Amino acid sequence: RDRYSSQAVQEYWQFEWDRADVYSCPDDAADPTYVLGMFPYTSGNLHMGHVRNYAITDAYARYRRMRGDDVLQPMGWDAFGLPAENAAERQLTDPQSWTETCIEDMREEMDAMGFGYDWSREFTTSDPEYYQWNQWFFEQFYEEGLVEYEAAAVNWCPNCETVLADAQVESVPDDADTTGHDHDTPASSQGVCWRCETPVETRELDQWFFTITDYAEELLDGLEDLDGWPESVREIQRNWIGKQEGAGVTFEIPNYGNVDAFTTRLDTIYGATFLAVSPGHDLARELADDVDAVAAYLDGARGRSDEKRRSTASGVDTGVHAIHPLTGEELPIYVAEYVLDDVGTGAVMGVPAHNERDHAFASEHDLPIEAVVKPADAEEHDVTSSAYTGGGTLENSDDYDGLDAETARERLLADLACAESSVTYRLRDWLISRQRYWGTPIPVVHCEECGPVLVPEAKLPVELPEYEPTAGNPLAENDEFVETTCPECGADARRETDTMDTFVDSSWYYLRFLSAVARDAPFDTDQAGEWLPVDVYVGGEEHAVLHLLYIRFFARVLADLGVLEAREPVERLVNQGTVLHGGEKMSTAKGNVITPHEYGPETTRLFVLGAAHPRQDFEWTAKDVSSAYDLQQQLYGMVQAFTERETDRSEREPRDDYLDREIDRTIAATTAEFEAFRFHRAISEIRSLAGVLGQYAEAGPVHDTVYRRGLETITALIVPITPYLAEELWNRLRCDGLAVEADWPEPAATVGDYRIERSLIETTRADVRDICEVAGIDDPGEITLVVAPAWKYRAYETVRQADPEGAVVSQALEDDRVADHRDA
Ligand code: ANZ
Ligand code: ZN
């Protein structure tokens, strides 16, 4: 007997698939099932993370296709970003050629893996055909008032005289090996330049922003209805948006006007003993003109990350006072780093007794600490040593004494003319400027007279000039690119040299797949109306905020622009876990990478899908890999043995209906597992049916029809997992057409809900833990397993053997067993 090797047959079947045009989704399909894997950054190779991502996507897409859906499963390339520029520099080529080579290699690797993409919709984001629409969107956003041009801090290397992305500031761990997306946002850390090791400074540069904060409330609200998304991702987005309800309190400052402070604890207002403003606050800038100490402090206070600022008690007494709106007392005003520029109003009322940061600051600067909320229970809290941040009853608060904190908040809000209810968000506007070459040029011209002016739509795209390596931003050094004339007044002007964050590219790419060749629009609005939202989107949880928030933001803006109906772009989100090796995430840095092709494409597919629930991390082990290999050989051997014997077969009579039942049960169970993305359980089902058929065949001659039905069923069920193997078996069984175009098998009889029965039969302690982890259940005792009466005894025996201590079997089951056993 020969052994099965997918490498030996893949070329043949790919040819057949191409010829039958299996994977193309016709433009006139009514509402295809849109299955999308997060498109890869063009790093040059498919790594195991990609393979897992796309194996999940492909398995589901194939399953839906066999169920009779039109399926759209496209693929394209996220090609802009710093890594291409770095690689170009190292390999003395240009980013364009480097990207093209990477794409060639990756496309070939994907084909070898057997992923069934509609390649007619392929595109590359660094292609002007694509990025012209980024520019078009930018202009639409601009007209809608969703673009701002403002000073913001960036990392600056004074030696190289260039802006550095966070990833170029060393001491920041290099994450380039995750899914390769280009995550950096400027200016969040201190460190040294990756090139020359000069300490990095922070500089203020005018930069472009999308005002995503205008959509904060809507993005938050929308999460409630996203039932198809993991709760963990929704929670991450909620926290990222960080809505806080509180009050704005106006403090009067003689000679300097008013300052508004944002607080979530208006009830503590009687405990305010100072006022603090951020170094970037207007008042701080104003005071710097009048007070030398403030000016000196501001000079020294630049360039620290928010995180560091949060934990410092550094600050300067301005010598100026604010009037407490209730007591009329004079409160000293400080400029303090722990007050952040872009949180709330950039000003806080300092209540050291009840806020930890205020407490630390007050202790450092010898400011009074006055308790105004006492814990409800008799418990004492000494506010001189630490802040009491809980609720309780008000004290030292005039008329409000004795009220509980919450009631006091409401009363004060109603009573005080100086306080208004106010909401703030942690979410910041989206800084889209990058001072680099390999990105979408921002379509703006700077004119001395007219200021920033949009490049007229008819002149789009603003194309990238050819790459010339330079120390800084190659665009800024390129006079031919920079020198232009003002579209409004015709005077000499300078072209904007910032390019867009690559997350702009990935915020709408799923739309481009609908009409990848559209010339006069980014996508076809009518078609989008029918085909969207994306039915299933698969990718790593590391994209929970940036990408997955931006994509939701973009959809809303496009909807408000009237070009898109679906305000939520993705109906169901599947996050996949990490592939570990030696207990750690695979990465080139750790030297523990297994390339997807080391073991042949289908062994790899079968293994990554069979190892665990998509959401879980799992360990790459040689044992599991060889069991994935063995399963393929087992199925291949069975089919081979059967087809060879077929000429002189002898029929075992009568037809064994327990086999029919087992086949039906497997179909029902596998279908349910596919629906739930539990490919690992689907594979166990298939494996176990193979075992049953194997035992049956060993016992003597088989009933040809039922045995064949078993083999054909297994073959069809495994198409989504190992398509080449399935095709090979299908062919040997002389079934009609291509396996990848076959119908999904149907149970012959009504078989009830086998899935639940099955999950009990196959449940071991480890499985229960696995279920608990996936379902977020702490205590396995919470799981109640329901079984059909006829299965109870067998179920009980199985679980009892797997779990002798019986911890996972409910008492109820045991009680029932006695009754059932007696009946039987
Ligand atoms: C007075 C107060 C009293 C506050 C109290 C809290 C407790 P958290 O603490 O995370 O819930 N805040 C407001 N603007 C700020 C800024 N720009 N930079 C730093 N801190 C700022 O966040 C809410 C609190 O953060 C606000 O409520 C304010 O301090 C502080 F017993 O006001 B609070
Ligand atoms: Zn002008």
Calculate what percentage of the chain has a pLDDT beyond 70.
86
Cα dist from 485 to 257, 433, 453, 494, whole Å: 43, 22, 11, 7
Phi, psi of 478 (to 5 degrees): -95, 95
Final residue belonging to a domain, choices 722, 752, 782: 752
The rounded distance, in Å, linking the Cα atoms of 397 and 327 is 10
Neighbour count for residue 471 (Cβ, 10 Å):
12
Q: Would you say residue 762 has pLDDT above 50?
A: no
Decide which of 734, 752, 770 is a domain's last residue.
752
pLDDT for residue 726: 98
Residues 532 and 655 in one domain: no
Count CB neighbours of 224 within 10 A: 9
Is the same domain home to 98 and 162? yes
With the C-alpha atoms ordered 116, 121, 122, 125, is the resulting torsion angle positive or negative? negative
Q: For ligand 1, atom 23, name the residue with the nearest CA.
A: 264
Looking up residue 214, the CATH number of its domain turns out to be 3.40.50.620
**Cα 447 to middle of ligand 2, angstroms:** 4
* Residues paired with residue 540 on neighbouring β-strands, in sequence order: 576
- Is residue 787 one of the residues assigned to a domain? no
451-454 and 483-485 beta bridge pairing? unpaired
Ligand 1 atom nearest to CA at 353: 31
Q: Is 350 touching ligand 1 by the criterion CB < 6 Å?
A: no
Question: Does the C-beta of 280 come closer than 6 Å to ligand 1?
Answer: no
Which pLDDT belongs to residue 646? Answer: 60
Q: Does one domain contain both 131 and 272?
A: no
Q: What is the domain count for the chain?
A: 3
Does pLDDT of 748 surpass 50? yes
Percent of the chain beyond pLDDT 90? 65
In this prediction, residues 409-422 reach a mean pLDDT of 96
Q: What is the pLDDT of residues 320-329, one digit of tens each?
A: 999 999 999 9
Whether residue 395 is found in the same domain as residue 435: no
Interval 110-160: pLDDT, tens: 999 999 999 999 999 999 999 999 999 999 999 999 999 998 877 788 887
Q: Could you read off the pLDDT of 647-680 as tens digits, one per residue?
A: 455 666 677 778 888 898 899 999 999 999 999 9
Are 568 and 68 in contact, with CB atoms under 8 Å apart? no
817 in any annotated domain: no
What is the band of 191 on the pLDDT scale with cuts at 50, 70, 90? confident
**What residue owns the CA closest to ligand 1's atom 20?**
339
| Residue 338 alpha carbon, nearest atom of ligand 1 | 19
**Which bound ligand lies closest to the C-alpha atom of 362?**
1
Q: How far away, in angstroms, is 301 Cα from ligand 1 center?
A: 21
Residues 6+ apart with CB under 8 A from 766: none
What is the spatial distance between Cα 273 and Cα 359, in angstroms, rounded to a whole number? 11
Residue 767 lies in a domain: no
Please give the distance, rounded to the nearest whole angstrom, from the Cα atom of residue 484 to the centre of ligand 2.
Answer: 11
pLDDT band at 183 (very low <50, low <70, confident <90, very high): very low
Looking at residue 20, what is its pLDDT? 96
- The bridge status of strand 274-277 relative to strand 330-336 is parallel
Q: Is the interface score ipTM higher than 0.85?
A: yes
Say whether both 739 and 632 belong to one domain: yes
pLDDT bin (cut points 50, 70, 90) of residue 303 is low
Is 703 domain-assigned? yes
Are both 556 and 627 inside the same structural domain?
A: no
The domain boundary, picked from 707, 726, 752, lies at 752
Q: Are 117 and 226 in a shared domain?
A: yes
Is 339 close to ligand 1, i.e. is its CB under 6 Å away?
Answer: yes
550, 430 contact by CB (below 8 A): yes
Do 300 and 418 have their domain in common?
yes
495 C-alpha to ligand 2 centroid (Å): 12
Alpha helices in 67-145 (DSSP H): 82-91, 95-112, 128-143
Does 794 reside within a domain?
no
Q: Are 390 and 267 in contact (CB under 8 A)?
A: no
Distance 455 CA to ligand 2 centre (A): 12
Mean pLDDT of the chain: 86
Q: Is the pLDDT of residue 173 over 50?
A: no
Say whether both 618 and 706 belong to one domain: yes
Q: If residue 781 lies in a helix (H) or strand (E), which one and from where to where? A: none
Whether residue 628 sits in one domain with residue 542: no
Place of tokens 């995750």: 178
Q: Where does 376-443 show beta strands of DSSP type E?
A: 393-394, 419-424, 430-431, 433-434
pLDDT exceeds cutoff 80 at 627: yes
Of the candidate ranges 32-46, 389-403, 539-553, 797-811, the one whose mean pLDDT is the lowest = 797-811
State residue 299's pLDDT score: 82
Q: To test ligand 1's pocket by mutation, which of 263, 270, 282, 314 has the most ligand atoms within 8 angstroms of CB?
A: 263
- Tell whether 515 is covered by a domain: yes
230, 677 Cβ separation under 8 angstroms: no
Strands (E), 449-491: 451-454, 483-485
**Pick from 440, 417, 421, 353: nearest CA to 389:** 353
Take residue 267 and report the two structure tokens written for it: 């009830």
379 domain residue, yes or no: yes
In this prediction, residue 302 has a pLDDT band, given cuts at 50, 70 and 90, of: low
Report the C-alpha gap between 204 and 454 in whole angstroms.
Answer: 23
Confidence of residue 29 (pLDDT cuts 50, 70, 90): very high
Q: Give yes or no: residues 650 and 680 share one domain.
A: yes
- The token pair at 672 is 């349910």
The CATH number assigned to the domain holding 707 equals 1.10.730.10
Rounded distance between C-alpha atoms, residue 661 and residue 673, angstroms: 18
Instruction: State the Cα–Cα distance between residues 599 and 580, nearest whole angstrom.
Output: 16
pLDDT digits (tens, 9 = 90+) for 349-369: 999 999 999 999 999 999 999
How far away, in angstroms, is 391 Cα from ligand 2 center? 58
Q: Round to whole Å and give the CA distance between 231 and 253.
A: 46
* Domain membership flag for residue 103: yes
What pLDDT, on a 0 to 100 scale, did the predictor assign at position 649?
A: 59
In tens, the pLDDT along 239-255 reads: 999 999 999 999 999 99
315 lines ligand 1 (CB under 6 A): no
CA–centroid distance, 210 to ligand 2, in Å, is 24
- Say how many C-beta atoms besides its own lie within 10 A of residue 729's C-beta: 27
Q: Which pLDDT score is estimated for 701?
A: 81
Ligand 1 and 605: CB distance under 6 A: no
Q: How many residues in total does the chain contain?
A: 824
Instruction: Return the closest-CA partner of residue 500 out of 466, 475, 527, 531.
Output: 475
Domain range holding 93? 31-240+427-442+499-576
- Of 220, 126, 235, give the one whose Cα is nearest residue 182: 126
- Predicted confidence band of residue 390 (pLDDT cuts 50, 70, 90): very high
- How is residue 24 written in tokens? 């193309």
Q: Are residues 520 and 378 in the same domain?
A: no
Q: Mean pLDDT, to the nearest integer, of 683-691?
A: 96
Q: Convert 307-373 into a string of H (helix), E (strand) and C (coil).
A: HHHHCCCCEEEEEEEEECCCCCCEEEEEEECCCCCCCCCCEEEECCCCCHHHHHHHHHHCCCCCCCE
